[in-house]
A = this chain, B = another copy of it.
Amino acid sequence: MEPAMDLGQTARVRPLVEQVRQMVREEIAPLDAEYHAEVGRHPSGDRFAMTERQLEILASLKDKAKARGLWNFWLTDSDKGYGLSTVEYAYLAEEMGAVTIAPEIFNCNAPDTGNMEVLERYGTQAQKDRWLPGLMEGRTRSAYLMTEPDVASSDAVQISLKCERDGEDYVLNGEKYWATGAGDPRCSLYIVMTRSDPDAPKHSRHTMLFVPADTPGIEVLRPMQVFGHDDAPHGHMHIRFTDVRVPLDAVVLGEGRGFEVAQGRLGPGRIHHCMRAIGRAEYALELACKRALGREAFGKPLADLGANYDIIANARIEIEMTRLLCLKAAWMMDHAGVRAAQPWISKIKVQAPLMALKVVDEAMQIFGATGISQDTPLAGIWTDLRTLRFADGPDAVHRRQVARAELRKYTNAAP
């Protein structure tokens, strides 16, 4: 019998959502600003070195979260932790999305969750033993090195960081960038996509490796900036590999199976990104409504002026639809598997960031210039969201996937 398409909050997850929501709003949000204000205040002046206060903020909040059992929710469909369904987790991700540092407080931040999934799903026992404990306990961080400067990231088969076998080692040469989280001084593990055999069939050319961040030959060149911000101390780093050696047992799953790993990793992560985006859209709409009610012009609240009713109504409609679509994608992941969920994930990957950007942009406009200033979080939310239209594949690639799946219904030969 087919499972019910229950997209609501289960009895199990409802109190968790409530607890997370409360902690995000009441305990994390007030410290988020302080955390960010600390950036660059390390005695060394290094923006990517973390200050005592930053570490303290993180530690105190993480301890609370752990003590309350609000930890590692992302372990969906697992016998560890809560074993939440993807749908259940989605509701939690939405709540965490509202505040920048919140996901890390619950050890649910990207790219670590995806990386831990890779370890869980594809890692050998030795690999797990080495890397998982630190990550699972939130002591260490990790990065996922995929994108390269000279390659259109829409077309991953072009990835070309060289991986050559030399005796008992692989030797890596090349560059990666947009390695999110690699700026963090606690980041100890890189999961690296490499090209091991350029002459193999298209989807067997690549190999994924676990590479310790401090391996000789690895050089962090610079942080990539997002609208002029380096996102320190997290960062999106540009990294060069020069004759970097890792032992053969650093391989994930097997030589030539890089794409298999990459595919398996991406599904849930994209759902989390999208749900966090929805959390941010909700937050922006809340701010906009309050402003629209509290500010007057021409003797009326802003809410009653211009097209503001329409703007607010459209935002509400778009948010609800997008949330339902994400929940459906999560449900497909839970009940039909990654492969069947794939076109659904492409759908939300296009829709959620675009929707959230639109809502936040309208919110900024309702605020007037305050909306793009430091006096509201909206501008920061907008630039963060803007990265999602590239991360894990640009819109165009996902639209292409959706269209091809659609056309395939009417033809045997894929178009």
Q: Which residues of A contact B (CB under 8 A)?
A: 1-2, 4-11, 147, 152-155, 158, 178, 224-229, 285-286, 289-290, 292-293, 295-298, 301-310, 312-314, 316-317, 320-322, 324-325, 328, 347, 350-351, 364-365, 368-369, 372-374, 379-380, 382-383, 386-387, 389-391, 394-396, 398-404, 406-407, 409-411, 415
Query: How far in angstroms is the closest Cβ of chain B from A32?
Result: 14
- Do A293 and B399 touch across chains, with their CB atoms under 8 A apart? no
Query: How far in angstroms is the closest Cβ of chain B from A365?
Result: 6
A224 proximity list for chain B (CB < 8 A): 369, 373-374
Query: How far in angstroms is the closest Cβ of chain B from A326?
Result: 10
For the complex, what is the distance from the CA of A2 to the CA of B9, rounded to whole Å?
Answer: 9
A293 proximity list for chain B (CB < 8 A): 407, 410-411, 415
Given contacts A324-B324, A372-B226, contact A402 B4 (CB under 8 A): no
A313 proximity list for chain B (CB < 8 A): 347, 350, 398-403, 406
For the complex, what is the distance from the CA of A314 to the CA of B403, rounded to whole Å?
Answer: 8
- Do B289 and A407 touch across chains, with their CB atoms under 8 A apart? yes
Query: Which residue of the partner chain, among B4, B316, B321, contacts A321 with CB atoms under 8 Å?
Result: B321
Least CB separation from A223: chain B residue? B374
A9 proximity list for chain B (CB < 8 A): 5
For the complex, what is the distance from the CA of A313 to the CA of B399, rounded to whole Å?
Answer: 5
A290 proximity list for chain B (CB < 8 A): 410
Given contacts A5-B6, A5-B8, contact A394 B406 (CB under 8 A): no
Interface of A, secondary structure class, is helix
- Do A312 and B403 touch across chains, with their CB atoms under 8 A apart? yes
For the complex, what is the distance from the CA of A384 to the CA of B53, rounded to whole Å?
Answer: 33
A7 proximity list for chain B (CB < 8 A): 5-7, 324
- Do B351 and A369 touch across chains, with their CB atoms under 8 A apart? no
A410 proximity list for chain B (CB < 8 A): 286, 289-290, 293
Query: How far in angstroms is the closest Cβ of chain B from A75?
Result: 23
For the complex, what is the distance from the CA of A7 to the CA of B368, rounded to whole Å?
Answer: 33
- Do B325 and A317 touch across chains, with their CB atoms under 8 A apart? yes
For the complex, what is the distance from the CA of A247 to the CA of B320, rounded to whole Å?
Answer: 47
10 contacts between A and B (CB under 8 A): A5-B6, A153-B369, A224-B374, A289-B410, A301-B415, A306-B309, A306-B400, A312-B402, A316-B402, A372-B387
For the complex, what is the distance from the CA of A11 to the CA of B1, rounded to whole Å?
Answer: 8
A297 proximity list for chain B (CB < 8 A): 152, 154-155, 158
For the complex, what is the distance from the CA of A27 to the CA of B290, rounded to whole Å?
Answer: 48
A306 proximity list for chain B (CB < 8 A): 307, 309-310, 396, 399-400
- Do A389 and B365 touch across chains, with their CB atoms under 8 A apart? yes
For the complex, what is the distance from the CA of A391 to the CA of B293, rounded to whole Å?
Answer: 22
- Do B307 and A310 touch across chains, with their CB atoms under 8 A apart? yes
- Do B310 and A373 touch across chains, with their CB atoms under 8 A apart? no
For the complex, what is the distance from the CA of A412 to the CA of B156, rounded to whole Å?
Answer: 29
For the complex, what is the distance from the CA of A214 to the CA of B35, rounded to whole Å?
Answer: 36
For the complex, what is the distance from the CA of A328 to the CA of B323, rounded to whole Å?
Answer: 11
A389 proximity list for chain B (CB < 8 A): 365
Least CB separation from A378: chain B residue? B227
Least CB separation from A395: chain B residue? B365
A372 proximity list for chain B (CB < 8 A): 226-227, 383, 386-387, 390
For the complex, what is the distance from the CA of A248 to the CA of B305, rounded to whole Å?
Answer: 39
Q: 6 closest A-B pairs (Cβ-Cβ)?
A: A5-B8, A307-B307, A155-B297, A324-B324, A313-B399, A306-B396
A399 proximity list for chain B (CB < 8 A): 306, 309-310, 313-314
A398 proximity list for chain B (CB < 8 A): 313
Best-surrounded residue of A9, A289, A292 (most CB of chain B within 10 A): A289
- Do B152 and A403 touch across chains, with their CB atoms under 8 A apart? no
Known: A153-B369, A289-B409, A317-B325. 12 other contacts (CB 8 A): A152-B297, A153-B368, A228-B229, A228-B383, A285-B406, A293-B410, A303-B407, A303-B415, A313-B401, A313-B406, A317-B351, A321-B322
